[in-house]
Amino acid sequence: MTNPQALSRFYLTLVPFLAAGVALVIGHSKPQLYLPIWMAHALLMAFAVWSLGKNCFTNPDPEQRQLGTIALLVIIPWIGFTVFAGMGPPPTSIPEWVETATEQQVRYALLIIGGMLITVGLALLANKLRQSGEKQYWLLGLLALGIAMPLFIANMAYWGSFLVESFTNFSAASVAKRPDWYLSMRALFSWISGVEVALLYLATAAFGVALQSVGWLTSTACRLYVVFSLVGALLIVLPTLSIEPLEIASYLVSIPAFPFIMPYLMALNLLNLGNRTLTRVK
């Protein structure tokens, strides 16, 4: 791997964590401020992806180019997700939801589109793993993902459409007490969210083992993916506990984009496979 490729991978690896840190620490900023910064970052991120993966994208071997395509499908959504750094976390009050209604609709629309692209990418990866001789874990990952994604889309539509419209109506009608049907819907989607997020983490664990079994992931990296995925799945299904560290951890693993961080890192590893293959050929 050349120095520009190593630098690109380092930068791309930091992207989800930097975006999350900015969103959680700084919070919501004005669109006039964060959109120009995000557009500059998007260009830089696109350049870094090309620098890291050009050996895959331009390789005459169709198998290598397919790996590049799979990686792109998983990575591209993160260019959109990083705009959440400027939006900050979802609002915590009805007036804030009403004031930022358009931003919230954009947020969850990007998550739905990104989730679908990542699903396509991982489905193609599952087929690639099957062709490479992986026996079972690709199927477990694909099944978990196939169950989780419809729930994910429904959950994001709930946040981006149902809540935005409900809060707008509550604010317009000056509703002091939230109606029973709203509380029932909130309880229902709390369950849906827990199941969906747990399945996404379990799918990641299965894909990690599958990648390691065909030699596309080191055993150390595989163990880290599996451990973090299982911890994430466990935290999201645990009952609410009044222990601050656990409450913070449960909140973090439930953030909609967070379950896609590990597939994103796996995609970066797929791009790097092209660099290692080229090095061996030379």
Per-residue pLDDT tens over the stretch 92-131: 888 899 899 999 999 999 999 999 999 999 999 999 999 9
26 is in which domain, residue-wise? Answer: 3-281
Closest CA to 227 of 205, 255, 249, 260: 205
| Cα 223 from Cα 218, distance rounded (Å) | 9
| Cα 240 from Cα 238, distance rounded (Å) | 6
Q: How many domains does the chain have?
A: 1
Kindly report, residue by residue over 224-243, the tens digit of the pLDDT. Answer: 999 999 999 998 887 766 56
**pTM over 0.85, yes/no:** yes
Closest CA to 271 of 14, 73, 20: 73
Which long-range contacts link 62-68 to residues 24+ away (Cβ below 8 Å)?
64/273, 64/274, 64/277, 66/124, 66/128, 67/128, 67/270, 67/271, 67/273, 67/274, 68/270, 68/271, 68/274
Which long-range contacts link 26-31 to residues 24+ away (Cβ below 8 Å)?
26/85, 26/88, 27/88, 27/89, 28/86, 28/87, 28/88, 28/91, 28/100, 29/86, 29/87, 29/88, 31/86, 31/103
* Amino acid letter, 80: G
Tell which wins on pLDDT, 155 or 167.
155
**What pLDDT does residue 240 have?**
66
CA distances (Å), origin 15, targets 48, 124, 221:
11, 24, 19
CA distances (Å), origin 257, targets 83, 89, 134, 180, 213:
12, 11, 28, 30, 27
Kindly report, residue by residue over 49-95, the tens digit of the pLDDT. Answer: 999 998 888 888 888 889 999 999 999 999 999 999 999 999 888 88
In three-state secondary structure terms, 206 is: helix
Q: Cα 202 to the chain's mean position, in Å?
A: 14
Kindly report the average pLDDT of the chain as a whole number.
90
